[in-house]
Amino acid sequence: MLTNKEEFKQVFQKRLVALHGTEVQEATTQEIYKTLGSLVREYISENWINTNASYKKSGVKQVYYFSLEFLLGRLMGSNLLNLDIYNVCKEGLLELGIDLDDIEEAEPDAGLGNGGLGRLAACFLDSLASLELPGHGCGIRYKYGLFEQKIINGYQVELPDNWLKEGNVWEIRKSDKAVEVKFGGYVTTEQVDGRLSFLHHNYEKVLAVPYDMPVVGYKNEVVNTLRLWSAETIIGNFDAYSISTHDQRKIIEYKRSTEAITEFLYPDDSHIEGRTLRLKQQYFLVSAGIQSILHNHKKHHHDVYSLPENVAIHVNDTHPVLAVPELMRILLDDELLSWDDAWEIMTKTISYTNHTTLAEALETWPVDLMRSLLPRVFMIIEEINRRFCQQVWADNPGNWELLRSVEIIRDGVVRMANLAIVGSYSVNGVAQVHTEIIKKREMKHFYQYFPEKFNNKTNGITHRRWLLRANPLLANVITELIGSDWIKNPTELQQLSKYVKDASFQEQIRSIKHNNKLNLAKIISKECGLTVDVGSIFDVQIKRLHAYKRQVLNVLHIMDLYNRLKEDPTIDMPPRTFIFGAKAAPSYHFAKKVIKLINTVASIINNDKYINDKLKVVFLENYRVSMAEVIIPATDISEQISTASKEASGTGNMKFMMNGAITLGTLDGANIEIEEAVGDDNIFIFGLTPNEVLNYHQVGGYSSWDMYNTHPRIRKVMEQLITGEVAQQAGDFKDIYDSLLIDNDEYFVLKDFIPYVDAQLKAGQAYMNQNKWTQMAIENIAQSGKFSSDRTIKEYASEIWRIR
Ligand SMILES: *Cc1c(COP(=O)(O)O)cnc(C)c1O
């Protein structure tokens, strides 16, 4: 139906009339988008049904990837691509006078995530389906995704992201698969048939309704499922005949508080907000997801003892780690298993990924909150803790230090990472250096106790979205040169290494970059009213705004560069366009000040005629997946400048590399593995090493005042933060100034400043030799196959989940 252009045109026009009562010439973009979506979803459904039937028939082990975030972005383009009907639809629509690019633009991003962690989950789903692996997502259908960012007068303003306003063509509501989730109440015990049973009373019931979204594999007829849960009221809770005004008010309140559970995504990245509603979200997801998995398991297998052979449950960070006590609860209270049997099953089923060692991101929940919201689950956590501590003490009598560090409940809080490690059979970090830090430092006691649980799985990105779809020009010349095997097997990109010196390939690479830069320049002009020089270096930092990612270091360098240009406008440097995109958590005061600083510096520099347009600074508002897809292919320099040891992996770094941008970065996260892959000559590395940072943390010895006093250029930019033009209103950037000097610069910005400036200088000089630069770009593309999430998922599948 969609594989033949003429047929496609016919069914398209018919469907447009059926759905919207209109003809092509009169239809709005939204109507055309929805019509195409409806056809594509229909086209998907046969394979979806077949995939499910084949999993059922073969009884093959299934993986469920639990995550509070799935940052999917747009799905039309990647679905058309994976279904191999992109060209038919593109050409068919063109003959009807429609540009498919415009139609893709009509789709709102599914922004159900904050940043890297949520995008990783989305890349993993794409790889699972494309590798024909039986793996599914389990998440929350937030009514509002990550806020929409507007910049007003240089400041971030947050607007609700009403992404479902026009409906969602990709989802199917499955009311018959709804389950109930219980909150609050109290628990009593009772002897029933010689067994202690736990009875839960007076709880509030919430209905969890699943919405399924298809996850389409690349040209392989596989369609897996992303199941997103939505909270609804259970109308049966009320007796329709006895509704007084008082009851009506209670009903309205019940409806409001129930639906609030899945109303919005918490906008903190690498930081936890200890709100009750967030804990409710976590339990809601986990309870609904596990009930539905067990229900399905029991339909096809006699008992729950075989669960670990048929199901793997993976928790993405600690956010869904209540899966541990929830699975125990169901096995104990509903399936009536003994503790030991339940524990055996549970610990063979659940595995966990750690995403951070930042203290402010390690989840803890107050015991009182947990007990009142989830009384039975809390009892189980206490019992897990009691038994575990007893075991540790028996194995290591007298070792208080060990006991203190591994306890799950301590100082009135539940430590979720500890619960995750104790409850799962596998704990993985997301890049080599991150895993080493977990093993040797942050979780060293656990590592000594359970060495066999710990392993590394370096993150990856789907090359289908981030190269094939986002940069079709580049994908095409690669295929012309080395054939199309790299699409199924991305390490084949290494063949490009042979062509680093090939003059005509180099020329193609340059001309594609130029084209992509023109494209981005158009968007910058449209969105910011700013003309940028496509001959300049596009130097890009796009990622969440966070102190450890050090956007401040980037801005201070720009201020310094501007100062130097003012002193000597003739200095020989290639012109530069600095591009930023970043959302700050609405309550993260410091991060919001940094956004204001970037915009202030931008307006000073962009309005200064005397620097001969050698510098431009752009802040693109509302950074998101669909924007990343346009910016990354147009980038020359990829800024990956986090404080060493703080960025667990990074995945933005991989997307840039794959599109031929050169990394300018610290020895942090996956940057280290990128350096190993491309070699020292094809990356610009600077700054403190992870060990140097960790040693400073341990033994001290750093003073940012020393930096300030020794380096006049540092002093100058620091002073500019609090005086004169940059400061504008007095004290505007005093918080940033204070954090760098008064609070001794927790993230070593001033320590790394001079090395960063030097690395920038080197990068600028390298760019002036276009021949050499292009060779570097090609080598980066050639080595990027390792960072495909296909490689990552194959490792998870064989080493953690044991699925085929
Ligand atoms: C890849 C991606 C990220 C993660 O970027 P990092 O540089 O690794 O922090 C965040 N947001 C979006 C929209 C992304 O596509």
List, for residues 217-244, the tens digit of each pLDDT value: 999 999 999 999 999 998 765 555 556 7
Decide: 434 and 116 in contact? Cβ < 8 Å: no
Burial class (CB in 10 A: 0-12, 13-18, 19+), 135: buried
So what's the pLDDT on residue 674?
Answer: 99
CA 321 to chain centroid, in Å, comes to: 18
Query: Which residue owns the Cα nearest ligand 1 atom 8?
Result: 650
Residue pair 370/378 in contact by the 8 Å Cβ criterion: yes
Alpha carbon 443 to chain centroid distance?
23
Residues 109, 65 contacting (CB under 8 angstroms): no
Query: Which of the residue ranges 236-245, 497-506, 715-724 would you say has the lowest mean pLDDT?
Result: 236-245
Task: Point out the ligand 1 atom lying closest to the alpha carbon of residue 650.
Answer: 8
Ligand 1 centroid from CA 302, angstroms: 44
Alpha-carbon separation of residue 540 from 73, 524, 537, 578, 618 (angstroms): 20, 13, 9, 6, 9
Candidates 432, 441, 355, 405; CA nearest to 695 is 441
Quick: pLDDT tens for 577-604: 999 999 999 999 999 999 999 999 999 9
Query: Could you tell me the residue ranges of all domains in the chain?
Result: 59-74+109-459, 463-699+746-787
Beta bridge pairs of residue 413: 366, 410
What pLDDT is attached to residue 158?
98
Q: Is the CB of 650 under 6 A from ligand 1?
A: yes
Give the atom of ligand 1 at the shortest distance from the alpha carbon of 651.
8
Task: Ligand 1, residue 649: give the atom nearest the CA.
Answer: 8
Which of 643, 651, 663, 774 does the annotation list as catalytic?
A: 651
**Mean pLDDT value of segment 146-159:** 97
pLDDT score, position 140: 99
Amino acid 185: pLDDT: 98
pLDDT, mean of residues 394-411: 97
User: In the numeric block, which tokens belong to residue 410?
Assistant: 């301590």
Q: How confident is the model at residue 441 (pLDDT cuts 50, 70, 90)?
A: very high
- Name the pLDDT band for 731 (thresholds 50, 70, 90): low
Instruction: Provide the pairing of β-strand 186-192 with 195-201.
Output: antiparallel
Q: Tell me, yes or no, if 544 is annotated catalytic.
A: yes
Q: Is the pLDDT of residue 98 over 60?
A: yes
pLDDT of amino acid 730: 55
| Alpha-helical segments (H) within 26-149 | 29-58, 76-83, 86-95, 100-105, 116-130
- Gap from CA of 51 to ligand 1 centroid (Å): 31
What superfamily in CATH does domain 59-74+109-459 come from?
Glycogen Phosphorylase B; (3.40.50.2000)
Residue closest by Cα to atom 7 of ligand 1: 652
Mean local confidence (pLDDT), 634-657: 98
Amino acid 246: pLDDT: 73
Token code pair at residue 399: 């070792």
Residue 1 pLDDT exceeds 80: no
**Residue 653 CA, ligand 1 centroid: distance in Å:** 9
Count of other CB atoms within 10 angstroms of residue 152: 9
pLDDT at 724: 81
550 is annotated as an active-site residue = no
111 touches ligand 1 (CB under 6 Å)? no
583 lines ligand 1 (CB under 6 A): no
612: helix, strand or coil: coil
- Residue for token pair 């940043």: 115
pLDDT 10s digits, 316-373: 999 999 999 999 999 999 999 999 999 999 999 999 999 999 999 999 999 999 999 9
CB-count burial class (<10 Å; 0-12, 13-18, 19+) for 412: exposed
* pLDDT at residue 782, as a whole number: 98
Q: Does 624 contact ligand 1 (Cβ within 6 A)?
A: yes
**pLDDT bracket for residue 726 (50, 70, 90):** confident
Note if 150 is an active site residue.
no
Burial class from Cβ neighbours inside 10 Å (0-12, 13-18, 19+) for residue 481 reads: middle
CA nearest neighbour of 61 among 409, 309, 294: 309
Per-residue pLDDT band for 728 (boundaries 50, 70, 90) equals confident
Q: Active site includes 355?
A: yes
Does residue 465's CB lie within 6 angstroms of at least one atom of ligand 1?
no
Measured distance CA(361)–CA(355) in Å, rounded:
9
Return d(Cα 299, Cα 218) in angstroms, integer. 30
- Does 383 score more than 60 pLDDT? yes
Reference 783, options 649, 639, 633, 681; nearest CA is 681
pLDDT value of residue 302: 80
In the reported structure, the alpha carbon of residue 173 is separated from the centroid of ligand 1 by a whole-number distance in angstroms of: 29
Does residue 460's CB lie within 6 angstroms of at least one atom of ligand 1? no
Per the annotation, the verdict on 655 as an active-site residue is yes
- Which residue blocks in 607-711 are alpha helix, DSSP H? 625-631, 652-658, 671-678, 690-699, 704-710
According to DSSP, residue 203 is labeled P
Distance, CA of 584 to chain centre: 15
Q: Please identify, by atom number, the ligand 1 atom nearest to the C-alpha of residue 461.
A: 1
Give the other-Cβ count within 10 Å of 59's Cβ.
Answer: 12
Instruction: For residue 411, give the amino acid letter.
Output: D
Q: CA 484, CA 477: separation in Å to the nearest integer? A: 10
Active site residue 15: no
With beta carbons less than 8 A apart as the criterion, state whether 292 and 179 touch: yes
- Asked whether this chain's domains 59-74+109-459 and 463-699+746-787 adopt the same fold, the reply is yes
Q: Evaluate whether the domain defined by 463-699+746-787 bears CATH number 3.40.50.12780.
A: no
Q: Which atom of ligand 1 is nearest to the CA of 116?
A: 4
- Choose between 729 and 537: higher pLDDT: 537
Cα 663 to averaged position of ligand 1 atoms, centre (Å): 15
The dihedral over CA atoms of 669, 776, 633, 153, expressed in degrees to the nearest 10, equals 70
Q: Which pLDDT belongs to residue 243?
A: 61
557 lines ligand 1 (CB under 6 A): no
Mutate to test the pocket of ligand 1, among 546, 622, 631, 651 (most ligand atoms within 8 A of CB): 651
Cα dihedral 581, 585, 588, 592 in deg (nearest 10): 30
Amino acid type, 390: Q
Instruction: Answer whether 267's CB lies under 8 Å from 114's CB.
Output: yes
* 687 C-beta closer than 6 A to ligand 1: no
Helices (H), 361-471: 367-373, 375-395, 400-406, 416-423, 432-437, 444-449, 463
Q: What is the mean pLDDT of residues 539-560?
A: 98
Three-state secondary structure call for residue 5: helix
Helix axes 86-95, 5-20, angle to 10 degrees: 70
CA–centroid distance, 28 to ligand 1, in Å, is: 32
CA of 665 to the centre of ligand 1 (A): 15
As a whole number of angstroms, the distance between CA 574 and CA 578 comes to 12
